[in-house]
Amino acid sequence: MPKFAANLTMLFNELPFLDRFAAAKAAGFTGVEYLFPYDFEKAVLGEQLQQHGLTQVLHNLPAGNWSAGDRGIAIFPDRVTEFRDGVKRAIEYAKALGCRQVNCLAGITPADADPAELQSVFVENLRYATSALAKQQIKLLIEPINTRDTPGFFLNETEQAIQIISEVGSENLFVQYDIYHMQIMEGDLAPTMKKHLDRIAHIQLADNPGRNEPGTGEINHPFLFRYLDEIGYRGWIGCEYKPKTTTLEGLGWYEPHTVDA
């Protein structure tokens, strides 16, 4: 079975953030991810990882003002300097935390924008970021996100991500494939993951509808876990879902001694 990482932005919200590392370890997880590390000192986060024997699997590049509605800044012509400064900051954190991959959120398309111009900016920003990250042996990921939860998000289908990767022309650019988002946008999960396996560096999960834990919706997660083994996926799967009740009550689907062995 695949390796599962607890997404500490979504899971164990019953606890303060820094206490979630211990909770994840106690629940049997060996890896963690979360949206952003930047509100905490690198040493503080590193201490939590080391103390609990956890691998930092993923975090995002700085994505603008999240509380004000930003969902990434990589497509905006007037924020290129901010984006590049964010790449440098992400590298500092990733190196300190031993994180070997970071995700780039594209951003929400402004109503009056030219999509071709936004894509051009996105591609150039990704070229800059992949080059800078490659020097540190850190992978860059881009993530298609559904437009029901995030209306107007620029990147929302797998083939679109693959096309952008081709245009960027870097061997250091990959897809973060979120099962929940892609079930909403395109379905056909298993064949799509098999087709693009060589470009998928990270997978995330949640069930649909509701974005809750596996077993609460329509997605056949046990089949997908077996299928990913069969096709040779060796990366992590991030558990980026909203527990229906508490995190621990919602972990009935997860058997850590089996899946993380």
Does residue 124 have an active-site annotation? Answer: no
Q: Which two tokens stand for residue 84?
A: 């590049």
Does residue 143 have an active-site annotation? Answer: yes
206 exposure class (CB count in 10 Å sphere: 0-12, 13-18, 19+) = buried
Q: 180, 218 in Cβ contact below 8 A?
A: no
Q: Rounded to an integer, what distance in angstroms lies between the CA atom of residue 171 and that of residue 229?
A: 24
Return all residues near 47 (Cβ < 8 A) that are at least 6 apart: none
Q: Looking at 124, 167, 240, 255, which residue is catalytic?
A: 240
Q: Rounded to an integer, what distance in angstroms lies between the CA atom of residue 159 and that of residue 167?
A: 12
Q: Looking at 14, 33, 117, 143, which residue is catalytic?
A: 143
The CA distances from residue 11 to 91, 98, 108, 209, in Å, are 25, 21, 25, 18
Cis peptide before 209 (omega within 30 of 0): yes
Q: Which two tokens stand for residue 92?
A: 């500092």
Catalytic residues: 143, 240
